[in-house]
Structure 1
Amino acid sequence: MLATPPDFDVLIVGAGISGIGMAAHMEMTCPNRSYAVLDRREKLGGTWDLFRYPGIRSDSDMHTLGFGFEPWRDEESIAKGERILDYLNRIADERGIRRHIRLDHKVLSADFRHEEARWHVTVETGGQQHVMTANWLFLGSGYYDYDQPYDAGFQGTEDFAGEIVHPQFWPANFDYSDKNVVVIGSGATAVTIVPVMAEKAAKVTMLQRTPTWIRSVPAKDGIANFLRKVLPDEWAYRLTRWKNVFLTDLMFKRSRTHPEQVADSLKDRARKALGDKYDPVALEPPYNPWEQRMCFIPDGDLFEAMKAGKAEIVTDQIDRFVPEGIRLASGSVLPADIIVTATGLNIAVMGKIAISVDGEPVRFNERYYYKHCMFSNLPNFAAVFGYLNASWTLRVDIVAEYVCKVMNRMDELGAEIVTPILAENHGLEEDDIFDFSSGYLQRSKHLMPRNSPVMPWRMNQDYRKDRDDLKNLPIEDGILRFEAAHSSANLQAAE
């Protein structure tokens, strides 16, 4: 073992769902390892602390967006942002995690040094930089750029006489009462904002270039609430979680095998909800369900706002902003006092942290995923990128559990370094890492790590299979190499 230990066994970057999840798993399964959770913000919560736009809520049910180890006990399954923050704060307090969290700590760079078997992590806090060391680095820093949202490049923004707001930087106490609002976009953020703003605004128009598949779901899960009355919370939560995992997976796979049937069902639901307000141009996308992420609206709130005449959907392209609003490609002008640009996010690979090994920069687009979370020839490192077709947290749970198992095996072997080894002449076929047509994903594919069609060199989109694989496949698979510092000796046990 090294004469001087690192500052921590593990540095976890990000105090949102991913970082809190990893910390909780360490408390449960690696209690003897030291760790710290670093976050650039002044409060924990990540996404749920950053976004403050009207109606901010989960875009999937909390029985799967919640952790497997901590039941979601609220009546509402589609939860408001503040309730999700309460949930994360309670976990941090009850599980002894908060004392490990260091806020206002922005990670700038991290260099792994083989001779020391540790990461040297440069952190900025209080305007000063210093270095922290750790044997392992776990990135739970999310997937999008906190500083720079996607700029769609609209012409004429300087001519617009009203206010332009991006959801990522929502002003405190922003008053939109009795204003005409145009929300540009058709994704989860737009369909969340529109019905809530419509409660106070004179009118809200959702301006979209292309429709999105939208499905109304109950805000409250009746089965979950019934089960909690007759079963212990843990049992009720587990049953509800697996029900929702199964139904979501079934719908996704059905969308891929029988897209016409799923599309017809979604159209029928929307027609029934909207009656004579149904507009196929606004609600029937030119692509199949789940080729992009589907939008869920709790209790049909968007449809209710449309029926009440407080909200509408316009499908057109933008020519330019003009003083009174937005001039469309069709020639008409949408009047607006406020324009909300819900046009998407920029993906930030590995939190924009400069990662290197022995001083050599790591280019992630040249590395392959290993078992959804590690990367080819990169030691003592893992990161979380959640599911596109299910709740983000489902991946967090299985990845955190797996990484803890790897670290425990290192202890058993007396290893200080573990690396997924991929030969230079590997001959792996490359697969599409994002089998989705969403703009923010397509824009970033050239930055992302590589994906093989088969495990283990893959980040998959099938939670039930992934869970079984990470739970049951052996840690020592002939690919992970365990070794000590100052030595290339392989410590992996004989198979």
Structure 2
Amino acid sequence: MGSIARSASESFDVMIVGAGLSGINSAYRIQTELPGYSYTVLESRDAIGGTWDLFRYPGIRSDSDLHTFGFPWRPWTEHRAIAAGEAIRNYIRESAEEFGIDKKIRFGNKMLSADWSTEEQNWNMLVDSNGEEKLYKARFIIFSTGYYDYNEPLKTTIPGIENFKGTRIHPQFWPEDLIVDSKKIVIIGSGATAVTLLPILAQTAKHVTMLQRSPTYILSRPSVDPVGTFLRKVFPSWIASRIVRYRFLVLPFLFSKFCSAFPEAARRIIHKRVKAELPPSMSIDPDFNPRYNPWEQRLCVCPDGDFYESLRNGSSDVVTDTIERVTETGIETVGGKVIDADIIITATGLKMQLAGGATLSRDGTPLSLPSTFAWNSTMLSDVPNAALVIGYANASWTLGADAAAKLVIRLLKYMRKNGFSSAMPRVGDVGMKKQNLLNLNSTYVEKAKGDLPSAGDKKPWLPRSNYFVDLWAASYGNLTRGLEFTSAADAASKKVN
């Protein structure tokens, strides 16, 4: 791209990268609480929605309730708590349009690099804008880019996969013209994507097999919340929406805490519910008895028990085994099973990536994100005036994203009030111990450990705890501990000298 002419730079107070849930939420917070600040949203693709616009595999839906997954400033009012991808995509787009955020989005703009200038006290960004290089300046960047690579899935070694003569698909790149009717399908994986795909494909396929190395917890939940339906009949919409949201905030939080405190009791409760939904021919072992405790990995949700219904009607099954090799016509397992297949779907996880893959530097020196610590799970050590929006692993992503946005707003207001031009996290305690930023042991998280920033074992470097604690910290917690501020006057003085 070096030969392409670059346009003159534009300057903004805040640059938001990504027009998914996190980016739209950040934009709303900026324009409502800092109305005098200029901002724009860079979106590398041509549509609003992020994950929910990218993924188009059959049956895609949320695995979190939309009452907490939706925006707190525009409540989810539909009766379905577990919503389809199209409904979520429309909700995000309509939210942006209602508040004029869509007018601030620049589509087809992918950030390539960003360099912080100590002298100028701003970021200088190089952006691929629909094939043309553009330069932007911003005082503060909010990376609302999610946590995985949109262009490349997680690489997984599957012995002999190149031998397969049928159709091979990764759900991240689902072909629009794929015909599954009367096909024998094998889904490799046991996460949320596999659990979502199985029942919808089983409706028309000849048979669907979910082949997993190890089981996961799969819980049935009503897609329509009966309590919420009742509340909407009794109370005005705005009151009912608020009650429903807090209900969905509190109950899952209490359940996750129960799972952490009493893992064996939680396991027994889940097993009892699963056993009641399985066909008589299937038992908990080995297909539904995970090796880990509940919430050490994210629990999978199936709305209205659709996953178990497809097992009961015989249109699908689950095999727990290791792949020996893939043949021209299917899969042979170590345990001696032969599974015929016309289509193999590799639902084996996502490749984690932060900041949308952009290269970051400070005064021309590259910054290594894996070597940083996360300040309040939002900013990174030695990286000035930049926020990395990270949500929750054990709750709705949007809750963590909004806690981060609120913290950034409070910080920007504090900096404006005190005449500071930059804030940079600094780790003063050299003896601080590292912790995982994401408290999950899922395969894709384990494989990405060397590529992610770390959390610490002391405030303000602790990993996310829960929404209530993080929201309080964002709104009222210590705002200066661990931060190094530069005043606008000091920056101007250094520039002159």
Give the alignment's TM-score, normalised by structure 2.
0.94
2:434 is paired with a residue whose SS is coil
Aligned to 2:91: 87
Aligned to 2:311: 306
Aligned to 1:359: 364
Aligned to 1:493: none
- Matches of 1:467 and 1:35, distance apart in 2: 24
1:175 is paired with a residue whose SS is coil
- Deviates most, 301-310 or 126-135: 126-135
Q: Does 1:379 align with 2:380?
A: no
* 8 Å CA contact retained: 2:375, 2:482: no
Aligned to 2:340: 335
Partner amino acid, structure 2, of 1:168: Q
Compared with structure 1, are the counterparts of its residues 210 and 427 closer, same or farther at alpha carbon in structure 2 (3 Å cutoff)? same
- Deviates most, 224-233 or 474-483: 474-483
* 8 Å CA contact retained: 2:9, 2:134: no
- Matches of 1:126 and 1:66, distance apart in 2: 30
- Matches of 2:184 and 2:217, distance apart in 1: 25
1:226 is paired with a residue whose SS is helix
Measured after TM superposition, the shift of residue 100 of structure 1 is 0.4
Measured after TM superposition, the shift of residue 422 of structure 1 is 2.8
- Matches of 1:130 and 1:485, distance apart in 2: 30
Q: Does 1:130 align with 2:134?
A: yes
Aligned to 1:318: 323
Partner amino acid, structure 2, of 1:455: K
Q: Which of 117, 120, 137 pairs up with 2:121?
A: 117
Q: Does 1:188 align with 2:187?
A: no
Partner amino acid, structure 1, of 2:333: L
- Deviates most, 202-211 or 230-239: 230-239
Deviation readout 1:70-127 (Å, 9 max, x if unpaired)? 1101111000001001111111111110110011111111001011111111110222
Q: Which of 406, 409, 416 pairs up with 1:411?
A: 416
Aligned to 1:247: 251
Percent identity, aligned pairs only, is: 40
- Matches of 2:282 and 2:402, distance apart in 1: 40
Measured after TM superposition, the shift of residue 275 of structure 1 is 4.1
Q: Which of 74, 99, 103 pairs up with 1:99?
A: 103
User: Where do 1:167-246 residues align within 5 Å?
Assistant: 167-246=171-250
Q: Does 1:31 align with 2:25?
A: no
Measured after TM superposition, the shift of residue 482 of structure 1 is 4.3
Deviation readout 1:150-196 (Å, 9 max, x if unpaired)? 12111222221210010000001311001010001000000000000
- Matches of 2:254 and 2:151, distance apart in 1: 37
Measured after TM superposition, the shift of residue 463 of structure 1 is 1.6
- How many matched pairs? 486
- Matches of 1:450 and 1:333, distance apart in 2: 43
1:7 is paired with a residue whose SS is strand
- Deviates most, 100-109 or 222-231: 222-231
* 8 Å CA contact retained: 2:55, 2:172: yes
Partner amino acid, structure 1, of 2:301: F
Q: Does 1:393 align with 2:398?
A: yes
- Deviates most, 12-21 or 348-357: 348-357
1:276 is paired with a residue whose SS is coil
Aligned to 1:152: 156
* 8 Å CA contact retained: 2:221, 2:303: yes
1:451 is paired with a residue whose SS is strand
Measured after TM superposition, the shift of residue 480 of structure 1 is 4.6
- Matches of 2:235 and 2:95, distance apart in 1: 22
Measured after TM superposition, the shift of residue 479 of structure 1 is 3.3
Q: Which of 104, 108, 112 pairs up with 1:108?
A: 112
Partner amino acid, structure 1, of 2:131: G
Aligned to 2:3: none
- Deviates most, 268-277 or 339-348: 268-277
Measured after TM superposition, the shift of residue 294 of structure 1 is 0.6
2:435 is paired with a residue whose SS is coil
- Deviates most, 144-153 or 190-199: 144-153
- Matches of 1:489 and 1:228, distance apart in 2: 60
- Deviates most, 459-468 or 35-44: 459-468
- Matches of 2:489 and 2:303, distance apart in 1: 53
* 8 Å CA contact retained: 1:115, 1:486: no
Measured after TM superposition, the shift of residue 298 of structure 1 is 0.4
- Matches of 1:34 and 1:5, distance apart in 2: 15
Q: Which of 54, 57, 60 pairs up with 1:56?
A: 60
Aligned to 2:75: 71
Partner amino acid, structure 2, of 1:309: G
- Matches of 2:168 and 2:303, distance apart in 1: 27
* 8 Å CA contact retained: 1:114, 1:486: no
Question: Which aligned segments of 4 or more residues in structure 1 are displaced greater than 6 angstroms?
Answer: none
Q: RMSD over aligned Cα, in angstroms? A: 1.8
Compared with structure 1, are the counterparts of its residues 64 and 277 closer, same or farther at alpha carbon in structure 2 (3 Å cutoff)? farther
Aligned to 1:256: 260
- Matches of 1:146 and 1:478, distance apart in 2: 33
- Matches of 2:291 and 2:478, distance apart in 1: 44
Q: Does 1:458 align with 2:462?
A: yes
Measured after TM superposition, the shift of residue 290 of structure 1 is 1.0
Give the alignment's TM-score, normalised by structure 1.
0.95
Q: Does 1:19 align with 2:23?
A: yes
Compared with structure 1, are the counterparts of its residues 485 and 172 closer, same or farther at alpha carbon in structure 2 (3 Å cutoff)? farther
Q: Which of 260, 267, 270 pairs up with 1:266?
A: 270
Aligned to 1:294: 299
Partner amino acid, structure 2, of 1:237: S
- Deviates most, 283-292 or 47-56: 283-292
Measured after TM superposition, the shift of residue 227 of structure 1 is 1.7
Measured after TM superposition, the shift of residue 477 of structure 1 is 4.1
* 8 Å CA contact retained: 1:255, 1:262: yes
